Protein backbone atom coordinates (compact mmCIF):
# COMPACT_ATOMS: atom_id res chain seq x y z
CA UNK A 1 0.00 0.00 0.00
CA UNK A 2 1.45 3.29 -1.08
CA UNK A 3 -0.42 5.15 1.65
CA UNK A 4 1.34 3.06 4.29
CA UNK A 5 4.68 3.67 2.64
CA UNK A 6 4.11 7.40 2.69
CA UNK A 7 3.20 7.31 6.36
CA UNK A 8 6.47 5.50 7.01
CA UNK A 9 8.35 8.09 4.94
CA UNK A 10 6.87 10.86 7.04
CA UNK A 11 7.81 9.13 10.28
CA UNK A 12 11.29 8.52 8.90
CA UNK A 13 11.61 12.18 7.97
CA UNK A 14 10.68 13.26 11.45
CA UNK A 15 13.14 10.87 13.02
CA UNK A 16 15.89 12.03 10.68
CA UNK A 17 15.08 15.61 11.48
CA UNK A 18 15.48 14.86 15.18
CA UNK A 19 18.71 12.96 14.55
CA UNK A 20 20.09 15.91 12.57
CA UNK A 21 19.15 18.29 15.36
CA UNK A 22 20.90 16.13 17.95
CA UNK A 23 24.00 15.87 15.80
CA UNK A 24 24.21 19.60 15.28
CA UNK A 25 23.74 20.19 19.01
CA UNK A 26 26.46 17.64 19.72
CA UNK A 27 28.83 19.60 17.52
CA UNK A 28 28.17 22.89 19.34
CA UNK A 29 29.81 21.94 22.65
CA UNK A 30 33.32 21.07 21.45
CA UNK A 31 33.28 24.19 19.25
CA UNK A 32 32.22 26.35 22.18
CA UNK A 33 34.93 24.97 24.45
CA UNK A 34 37.53 25.28 21.72
CA UNK A 35 36.64 28.97 21.38
CA UNK A 36 36.99 29.51 25.13
CA UNK A 37 40.31 27.69 25.16
CA UNK A 38 41.57 29.88 22.35
CA UNK A 39 40.72 33.01 24.31
CA UNK A 40 42.41 31.48 27.38
CA UNK A 41 45.60 30.89 25.41
CA UNK A 42 45.53 34.49 24.26
CA UNK A 43 45.24 35.64 27.87
CA UNK A 44 48.10 33.35 28.87
CA UNK A 45 50.27 34.90 26.19
CA UNK A 46 49.50 38.32 27.65
CA UNK A 47 50.57 37.07 31.08
CA UNK A 48 53.93 35.98 29.68
CA UNK A 49 54.28 39.37 28.03
CA UNK A 50 53.50 41.13 31.31
CA UNK A 51 55.97 38.92 33.17
CA UNK A 52 58.63 40.02 30.68
CA UNK A 53 57.79 43.66 31.33
CA UNK A 54 58.32 43.10 35.07
CA UNK A 55 61.59 41.23 34.48
CA UNK A 56 62.86 44.04 32.30
CA UNK A 57 62.17 46.52 35.08
CA UNK A 58 63.65 44.32 37.79
CA UNK A 59 67.09 44.08 36.16
CA UNK A 60 67.91 47.85 36.30
CA UNK A 61 66.29 48.03 39.75
CA UNK A 62 68.75 45.48 41.12
CA UNK A 63 71.66 47.25 39.41
CA UNK A 64 70.72 50.56 41.01
CA UNK A 65 70.26 48.92 44.40
CA UNK A 66 73.75 47.42 44.18
CA UNK A 67 75.24 50.73 43.08
CA UNK A 68 73.50 52.54 45.91
CA UNK A 69 74.86 50.10 48.47
CA UNK A 70 78.39 50.74 47.18
CA UNK A 71 77.90 54.54 47.05
CA UNK A 72 76.46 54.71 50.56
CA UNK A 73 79.33 52.62 51.90
CA UNK A 74 81.79 54.97 50.20
CA UNK A 75 80.17 58.11 51.65
CA UNK A 76 80.12 56.57 55.10
CA UNK A 77 83.84 55.70 54.92
CA UNK A 78 84.72 59.17 53.63
CA UNK A 79 82.74 60.82 56.41
CA UNK A 80 84.65 58.78 58.97
CA UNK A 81 87.95 59.85 57.43
CA UNK A 82 87.13 63.56 57.55
CA UNK A 83 88.72 63.91 60.99
CA UNK A 84 91.97 62.49 59.69
CA UNK A 85 92.36 65.27 57.12
CA UNK A 86 95.56 67.22 57.83
CA UNK A 87 94.89 70.37 55.83
CA UNK A 88 91.89 72.51 55.24
CA UNK A 89 92.38 71.98 51.52
CA UNK A 90 92.07 68.19 51.64
CA UNK A 91 89.20 68.55 54.13
CA UNK A 92 87.28 70.83 51.76
CA UNK A 93 88.03 68.53 48.82
CA UNK A 94 86.70 65.55 50.78
CA UNK A 95 83.57 67.47 51.76
CA UNK A 96 82.95 68.35 48.13
CA UNK A 97 83.38 64.73 47.08
CA UNK A 98 80.94 63.61 49.76
CA UNK A 99 78.44 66.23 48.57
CA UNK A 100 78.83 65.03 44.97
CA UNK A 101 78.29 61.44 45.98
CA UNK A 102 75.21 62.36 47.99
CA UNK A 103 73.81 64.10 44.92
CA UNK A 104 74.44 60.99 42.80
CA UNK A 105 72.80 58.84 45.49
CA UNK A 106 69.76 61.09 45.50
CA UNK A 107 69.45 60.83 41.73
CA UNK A 108 69.73 57.06 41.85
CA UNK A 109 67.16 56.89 44.64
CA UNK A 110 64.80 58.90 42.43
CA UNK A 111 65.33 56.44 39.56
CA UNK A 112 64.86 53.51 41.94
CA UNK A 113 61.59 54.91 43.21
CA UNK A 114 60.32 55.34 39.67
CA UNK A 115 61.26 51.77 38.79
CA UNK A 116 59.56 50.47 41.93
CA UNK A 117 56.39 52.35 41.02
CA UNK A 118 56.49 50.92 37.50
CA UNK A 119 57.01 47.40 38.84
CA UNK A 120 54.11 47.83 41.23
CA UNK A 121 51.87 49.03 38.40
CA UNK A 122 52.96 46.16 36.14
CA UNK A 123 52.37 43.65 38.96
CA UNK A 124 48.84 44.97 39.42
CA UNK A 125 48.17 44.45 35.71
CA UNK A 126 49.64 40.96 35.95
CA UNK A 127 47.38 40.09 38.87
CA UNK A 128 44.32 41.42 37.04
CA UNK A 129 45.21 39.29 34.01
CA UNK A 130 45.72 36.26 36.22
CA UNK A 131 42.27 36.82 37.67
CA UNK A 132 40.77 36.83 34.17
CA UNK A 133 42.58 33.57 33.44
CA UNK A 134 41.34 31.97 36.64
CA UNK A 135 37.77 32.94 35.76
CA UNK A 136 38.13 31.63 32.22
CA UNK A 137 39.54 28.34 33.45
CA UNK A 138 36.64 27.99 35.85
CA UNK A 139 34.18 28.73 33.05
CA UNK A 140 35.79 26.14 30.77
CA UNK A 141 35.60 23.56 33.54
CA UNK A 142 31.92 24.31 34.23
CA UNK A 143 31.01 24.31 30.54
CA UNK A 144 32.89 21.06 30.10
CA UNK A 145 30.88 19.41 32.87
CA UNK A 146 27.56 20.70 31.51
CA UNK A 147 28.51 19.65 27.99
CA UNK A 148 29.45 16.17 29.09
CA UNK A 149 26.11 15.73 30.90
CA UNK A 150 24.20 16.99 27.87
CA UNK A 151 26.27 14.87 25.49
CA UNK A 152 25.30 11.77 27.46
CA UNK A 153 21.61 12.72 27.23
CA UNK A 154 21.94 13.40 23.52
CA UNK A 155 23.81 10.16 22.97
CA UNK A 156 20.95 8.24 24.60
CA UNK A 157 18.33 10.02 22.51
CA UNK A 158 20.35 9.46 19.37
CA UNK A 159 20.59 5.72 19.98
CA UNK A 160 16.83 5.50 20.47
CA UNK A 161 16.03 7.54 17.36
CA UNK A 162 18.48 5.59 15.27
CA UNK A 163 17.00 2.33 16.43
CA UNK A 164 13.51 3.57 15.54
CA UNK A 165 14.83 4.82 12.23
CA UNK A 166 16.15 1.37 11.35
CA UNK A 167 12.77 -0.11 12.20
CA UNK A 168 10.93 2.42 10.00
CA UNK A 169 13.39 2.00 7.14
CA UNK A 170 12.79 -1.73 7.33
CA UNK A 171 9.09 -1.15 6.69
CA UNK A 172 9.79 0.58 3.37
CA UNK A 173 9.95 -1.15 0.03
CA UNK A 174 13.61 -1.63 -0.78
CA UNK A 175 13.46 0.63 -3.80
CA UNK A 176 11.73 3.45 -1.94
CA UNK A 177 14.10 3.06 1.00
CA UNK A 178 17.11 3.26 -1.25
CA UNK A 179 15.70 6.33 -2.99
CA UNK A 180 15.04 7.98 0.34
CA UNK A 181 18.57 7.34 1.61
CA UNK A 182 20.10 8.50 -1.65
CA UNK A 183 18.19 11.79 -1.71
CA UNK A 184 18.98 12.46 1.93
CA UNK A 185 22.68 11.86 1.45
CA UNK A 186 22.69 14.16 -1.60
CA UNK A 187 20.65 16.97 -0.08
CA UNK A 188 21.83 16.73 3.53
CA UNK A 189 18.32 17.35 4.80
CA UNK A 190 14.75 16.55 3.95
CA UNK A 191 14.20 13.89 1.34
CA UNK A 192 10.44 14.29 1.33
CA UNK A 193 8.56 17.44 0.31
CA UNK A 194 4.88 18.22 0.63
CA UNK A 195 3.01 19.66 -2.31
CA UNK A 196 0.77 22.54 -1.46
CA UNK A 197 -1.18 24.66 -3.95
CA UNK A 198 0.55 22.76 -6.72
CA UNK A 199 4.07 23.72 -5.58
CA UNK A 200 6.91 21.81 -3.93
CA UNK A 201 7.24 23.17 -0.39
CA UNK A 202 10.95 22.46 -0.33
CA UNK A 203 12.08 24.28 -3.47
CA UNK A 204 8.85 26.19 -4.25
CA UNK A 205 8.82 24.98 -7.82
CA UNK A 206 5.38 24.67 -9.41
CA UNK A 207 4.71 21.09 -10.56
CA UNK A 208 3.67 20.43 -14.17
CA UNK A 209 -0.12 19.75 -14.23
CA UNK A 210 0.50 16.29 -15.66
CA UNK A 211 2.68 15.32 -12.69
CA UNK A 212 0.12 16.70 -10.30
CA UNK A 213 -2.54 14.46 -11.84
CA UNK A 214 -0.22 11.44 -11.61
CA UNK A 215 0.54 12.29 -8.00
CA UNK A 216 -3.16 12.51 -7.18
CA UNK A 217 -3.65 9.01 -8.51
CA UNK A 218 -1.50 7.86 -5.58
CA UNK A 219 -0.23 4.67 -7.16
CA UNK A 220 3.45 5.45 -7.43
CA UNK A 221 6.25 7.43 -5.74
CA UNK A 222 7.10 10.64 -7.59
CA UNK A 223 9.97 13.08 -7.30
CA UNK A 224 10.05 16.84 -7.62
CA UNK A 225 11.49 17.58 -11.09
CA UNK A 226 13.49 20.45 -9.62
CA UNK A 227 14.87 19.34 -6.24
CA UNK A 228 14.38 15.58 -6.74
CA UNK A 229 12.73 15.10 -3.34
CA UNK A 230 10.01 12.51 -2.94
CA UNK A 231 6.82 14.52 -3.23
CA UNK A 232 3.63 13.81 -1.36
CA UNK A 233 0.22 15.43 -1.11
CA UNK A 234 -0.99 16.31 2.40
CA UNK A 235 -3.99 14.07 1.77
CA UNK A 236 -1.84 11.07 0.90
CA UNK A 237 -1.07 9.94 4.42
CA UNK A 238 -3.70 11.82 6.35
CA UNK A 239 -1.46 12.41 9.34
CA UNK A 240 2.03 13.38 10.34
CA UNK A 241 2.28 12.49 13.99
CA UNK A 242 5.53 12.93 15.83
CA UNK A 243 7.18 9.75 16.90
CA UNK A 244 8.34 9.51 20.47
CA UNK A 245 10.76 6.95 21.76
ZN1 LIG B 1 11.18 20.50 -5.05
219 CA distance to ligand 1 middle (Å): 20
For residue 23, how many other CB atoms are within 10 A of its CB?
A: 11
Question: Which pLDDT belongs to residue 141?
Answer: 97
Q: Ligand 1 centre and the CA of 195: distance in Å?
A: 9
- pLDDT tens by residue, 45-66: 999 999 999 999 999 999 999 9
Q: Are residues 103 and 213 in the same domain?
A: no
Inside any domain, residue 118 = yes
Q: 129, 50 in Cβ contact below 8 A?
A: yes
CA of 214 to the centre of ligand 1 (A): 16
Q: How far is the CA of 204 from the centre of ligand 1 (A)?
A: 6
Dist CA 105 CA 32 (whole Å)? 57
Centre of ligand 1 from the C-alpha of residue 200, in Å: 5
3-state SS record for 166-217: HHHHHHCCHHHHHHHHHHHHHHCCCCEEEEECCEECCCCCECCHHHHHHHHH
Are residue 154 and residue 216 in the same domain, yes or no? no
Q: How many residues does the chain have?
A: 245
Q: Indicate if 136 and 223 belong to the same structural domain.
A: no
What is the domain count for the chain? 2
pLDDT in tens, 11-55: 999 999 999 999 999 999 999 999 999 999 999 999 999 999 999
DSSP category for residue 83? G
Q: How far is the CA of 140 from the centre of ligand 1 (A)?
A: 44
8 & 121 share domain: yes
Mean pLDDT over all residues of the chain? 92
Phi and psi at residue 188, to the nearest 5°: 50, 50
Residue 162 lies in a domain: yes
The verdict on residue 221 lying in a domain is yes
Q: How many whole angstroms from its chain centre is CA 88?
A: 79
For 208-229, how does the pLDDT look when each residue is reduced to its tens digit (9 = 90+)? 999 999 999 988 999 999 999 9
pLDDT for 6 = 92
Domain range for 104: 2-171
Q: pTM for this one?
A: 0.72
Amino acid sequence: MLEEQIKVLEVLEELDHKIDKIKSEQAIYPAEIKKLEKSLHEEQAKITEQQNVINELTVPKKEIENELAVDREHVSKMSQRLNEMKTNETYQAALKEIANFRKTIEEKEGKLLLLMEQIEEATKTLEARQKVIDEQQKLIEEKGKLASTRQKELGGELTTYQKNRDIELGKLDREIGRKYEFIRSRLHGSAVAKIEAGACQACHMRLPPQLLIQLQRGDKIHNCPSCKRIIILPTMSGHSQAVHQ
